[in-house]
Amino acid sequence: DQQVKQNSPSLSVQEGRISILNCDYTNSMFDYFLWYKKYPAEGPTFLISISSIKDKNEDGRFTVFLNKSAKHLSLHIVPSQPGDSAVYFCAASVWGSSNTGKLIFGQGTTLQVKP
């Protein structure tokens, strides 16, 4: 039962253009969402997050949008740079009675930015 889904395994964009990575979730109890970037053979690096009380959060070239009614979030990278080429994971935090910070991860989307 995949609660967080990234349906596009890969995405290729031209340098300078916009990259849009998508993520869908099924659990309405998720209230905090994060995006991580991962290079091969390295640990994921935190990129940006958004709380469910917001619908947009921006940090430099990175913007995350949250559509709670559609249970969908997206990461926009503008402009895309070759150094952005990596695997991007979205993750969701479960709000439960134990109040733990367990993260549920999507399968990842491999972004390739071509020079």
Partner 1 sequence: DGGITQSPKYLFRKEGQNVTLSCEQNLNHDAMYWYRQDPGQGLRLIYYSQIVNDFQKGDIAEGYSVSREKKESFPLTVTSAQKNPTAFYLCASSSSGLSRETQYFGPGTRLLVL
**Binding residue (CB under 8 A) for partner 1 from 41, 60, 70, 115:** 41
The size of the chain, in residues, is: 115
Q: Write the DSSP string, 47-60.
A: EEEEETT-SEEEET
- All residues at 6 or more sequence positions from 81 whose CB lies less than 8 Å from its CB, including other chains: 15, 61, 113
Instruction: Determine if 21 is a binding residue for partner 1 (CB under 8 A).
Output: no
**Binding residue (CB under 8 A) for partner 1 from 57, 65, 71, 105:** 105
For 32, 45, 54, 86, the CA distances from 38, given in Å and listed in that order, are: 20, 6, 25, 6
Instruction: Determine if 94 is a binding residue for partner 1 (CB under 8 A).
Output: yes
Cα dihedral angle (69, 17, 63, 4), rounded to 10 degrees? 50
**Binding residue (CB under 8 A) for partner 1 from 8, 22, 49, 112:** 49
- All residues at 6 or more sequence positions from 40 whose CB lies less than 8 Å from its CB, including other chains: 87
Instruction: Determine if 101 is a binding residue for partner 1 (CB under 8 A).
Output: yes
Instruction: Determine if 60 is a binding residue for partner 1 (CB under 8 A).
Output: no
Instruction: Determine if 51 is a binding residue for partner 1 (CB under 8 A).
Output: yes
Beta carbon nearer to partner 1, 77 or 91: 91
Judged by the rule CB under 8 A, the positions of this chain that interact with partner 1 are 4, 6, 9, 31-32, 34, 36, 41-46, 49, 51, 89, 91, 93-96, 99-103, 105-108
